[in-house]
Amino acid sequence: MDRSEKATYDFLILFLLICLQNQLAGPVPELAFSSSLKELHLSNNTFNGNLTESIGRLSELEVLWICSNLLEGTITEAHMFNLSRLRILDLSLNSNLEVKFSLHWIPPFQLEYLSLRQCKLGMYFPTWLKTQKEIGYIDISNTGISDIVPSWFGGIAANVFYLNASNNQMHGFFALLLCNERGPVLPYFRLNLMTMDLSRNKISGPLTFLCNVKEWGLLDLSDNLFSGRIPDCFANFHKLTYLNVANNHLSGEIPYSFGALSSLTLLHLRNNSLSGGLPTSMRNCTGLKMIDLGENRLTRKIPAWIGDSFPELIVLILRDNEFYGDVPSNLCRLANLQVLDISSNNVSGSIPDCLQDYNAMTKTDSWFVFGQLGVMGISIA
């Protein structure tokens, strides 16, 4: 075997190609002859141009990871036609890459992981997703979808633990469907979903679907059109760390079951029509670092127990509500507090002297404060 024949043979038996986090540029090299390739990792480079259709001939390929490049052109069924073993597909962060499959396309694979974040999917919802029965991770955020949320979309959540469809223009109702091929399942069945981000869409309807999940870890439904009460079913969500339902049309009182959220660090309820006060059960949420209840219809006095219950609190925003009475001096015990906003309420009396000399409030370079306020679109300038 001469040198050229040996090189060809070595290429044919290539199983794994990893070239991630380099400065590789130019088009993705021709891969059609590497018939044994199982995993291709080319993420975090500067590959550009079109992805060759010959990648669809890699019948052994299980992992295709080409995120964070400069790819362009269009991905079609031809790129996927023989990838029957594919489990992981990540084309994310290629903002000039169009992913365009026909409306009735049935993929040859069953994915476990899919990320198309910041690709161009077009206005229509990717209907081929309903064929994916084993998928556990879905990220289709910031992809230009402006379609109505299909009724089957909630049904694929039975095995999903991560779902991100944020930064689109999806509209209509969303529901997590408790069903399988035989129809509805038993009422005590709960889905496995842990993280869901549907923020910055136009999704409407009630939040009752939140109760159909075993456990939440992160939940962001902000900047939508959800309405009705926040359901009082949070008693078992002990792992929930981040809850954001800001900028919706929610009403009613803050659920008493929020007191069971022992892992909660960030709570954003801004710009709704919530009424009543803070439930006393929330004094059990001792890990809270940020509370934003601004722009609601909350009444009653500012609870004095806030100062005793949240030793790690950095941001407390109660502005634009109907709180009344004195500012409790117990707030002085919040040693880490950097932002306190109680403007546009009915509070009376004077601000406690200790708050005027608060050392922690001079730490305005905190990445945590400005990072989280930026996420919420809040300016303290």
pLDDT of residue 1: 43
pLDDT of residue 380: 42
| Contacts (Cβ under 8 Å, ≥6 apart) of 329 | 304, 307, 352, 354
Query: Phi and psi dihedrals of 7, rounded to 5?
Result: -60, -40
pLDDT of residue 293: 98
Tell me which residue of 226, 213, 217 sits closest to 178, measured CA to CA.
213
pLDDT of residue 11: 42
Name residue 74's beta-bridge partners. 98
How does pLDDT run across 215-248, given as a tens digit for each residue? 899 999 999 999 999 999 999 899 999 999 999 9
Query: Phi and psi dihedrals of 58, rounded to 5?
Result: -80, 80
Q: Beta strand pairing status for 137-139 and 183-184?
A: unpaired
Under a CB-based contact definition with an 8 Å cutoff, are residues 101 and 128 in contact?
yes
pLDDT of residue 159: 72
CA distances to 301, 322, 326 from 252, in Å: 18, 15, 25
Name residue 65's beta-bridge partners. 41, 90
Q: How far apart are CA 12 and CA 340, in angstroms?
A: 64
Average pLDDT per 10 consecutive residues for the chain, totaling 381 residues: 42 47 60 72 86 90 93 95 96 96 94 98 95 94 96 78 96 72 43 87 94 91 98 94 98 98 97 97 97 97 95 96 94 91 90 68 51 52 38
Under a CB-based contact definition with an 8 Å cutoff, are residues 87 and 62 in contact?
yes
pLDDT of residue 120: 97
Tell me which residue of 313, 366, 367, 365 sits closest to 341, measured CA to CA.
313
Name residue 250's beta-bridge partners. 228
How does pLDDT run across 78-123, given as a tens digit for each residue? 999 999 999 999 999 999 999 999 989 999 999 999 999 999 999 9
pLDDT of residue 323: 96
